Copies of this chain bind each other. A is one copy, B any other.
Amino acid sequence: MEARHLRYAVALAEHAHFGRAATALGIAQPPLSKQIAALEREVGARLFDRTRRGVFPTAAGAAFLVRARAALAEIGAASVDAARAARGESGRLRLGFIASALLDPLPGVLRRFSRERPGVRLELHEMASSRSSAALAGGELDVAVTLGRPRGIGAERLVSVPVGHDHLVAVVGSGHPYAGLRSVAVAQLLHQPLILASGEDEPAVAAGLRDLLGEGSPALASATVARDVHTVIGLAACGVGVGLGPSRMLAAPRPGTWFCEVTPRTPLPDLVLSFSPEDRSPVLDAFLDVVRANCPVVGAALDRRLGPRSEAAG
C-alpha cells in the first residue's frame, strides 16, 4: 500500500464522487476507480458504497479513513519536522560549561540563542572542565566551555577556540578597606583572609596565586575555599575577605561588591569553546553563529578552523 492510496481514499470520501475527487487530485476518473479498486482488493474489503446519491464509506472504509488521515498527517509532519531540524529550528543542544562561564560569555549567548531558536531545547550541564572535555569526546555533549584547551583521549579531534583572555582580579564587599581602589598589590593580599574557588573547578586561580604568593604561603593555606566563583563573589560581598578570581567577574557586577585589579597583572588560562567538528549539526552551527555575533574575535578564530561560515546558514 502506498501513500497515494490513502490520499485517493481521503479525497474520495471528502467529495463523495469519483469524478470530482479525481479532478481535485489532478487525475482523471478512471485511474481513481482503478486505484480505489486495487486498494479494496489489497485490504480485502469494500471501503466505499457506490450509491446513486453519492459514494460513501462503509464501516470498513470509515475505520480505514481514520487511520489514513492520521498517516497522511504524519507523513506531512515528517517533512516539516525534518526541514525544521535541518534548519536548526528544533532539536536540542547539550552544553557543558564551567560555572564561571556563567559570568561572562554565556549570559548573552544563551539569552540570544534561546530567543533566536525557541524550538531548541537547551540542556545546560555545569561541570568541571575535565569532565566537559571527556563528555564532549564521548558524544554526551554538543559543545563545551572549559578553562584551557581540552586534554585527554579524543581531545585532539575537537575544535577549540578561546572565548577571551583572563587575568586575576580581586573582589571585596563595599565596606571593605580596599573598596574604591583601582588596584591592589600582591603584598596587600598577604595578611588578608582570602577566598578562592576550589582546585577542581578553577584550578588556575589557585595556581596563579601560588605563583604570586609563594608555594607555602600562610595566606593561601588559610584561604577560604568555595565551590565556584559565584560563591567567592557572594562571600566577598558579605565581607568575609578578599575574593580572588578571573577578570570575567567584572562582566557581572553585583551590588555591594567592588573589584580591583591585582598587580602584577597575572594571566589566567583562557576560557575555551570546544566542539567536535564531526558532529556538527544545524543546531550547533546556529549556536556558533550566536557566539560569533556576540564575540567577534571568536568568529575569526572559528572561520580559521572551519572555513568562512558553513553554507547551511539560516
Which residues of A are at the interface with B, using a C-beta cutoff of 8 A? 1-4, 6, 42-47, 58-64, 66-68, 70-72, 74-75, 77-79, 81-86, 90-91, 281-283
Contact = CB atoms under 8 A, between A and B. Distances in A.
A58 B284 CA distance: 12
Contacts of A67: 74-75, 77-78, 81-82
A282 to B, nearest CB: 6
B71 A59 contact: no
Quick one: copies of this chain in the complex? 2
Contacts of A46: 86
Contacts of A42: 79
A45 B86 contact: yes
**Chain A residues touching B, majority SS:** helix
A21 to B, nearest CB: 18
B6 A75 contact: yes
B44 A86 contact: yes
A70 B152 CA distance: 41
Interface centre among A46, A59, A62, A83 (most CB of B within 10 A): A59
Contacts of A61: 82
B62 A70 contact: no
Given A45-B85, A78-B67, A281 B6 contact: no
B82 A60 contact: yes
Contact of A78 (B6, B75, B82): B6
B70 A82 contact: no
A283 B91 CA distance: 46
B59 A91 contact: yes
Nearest to A40: B82
Contacts of A3: 1-3, 75
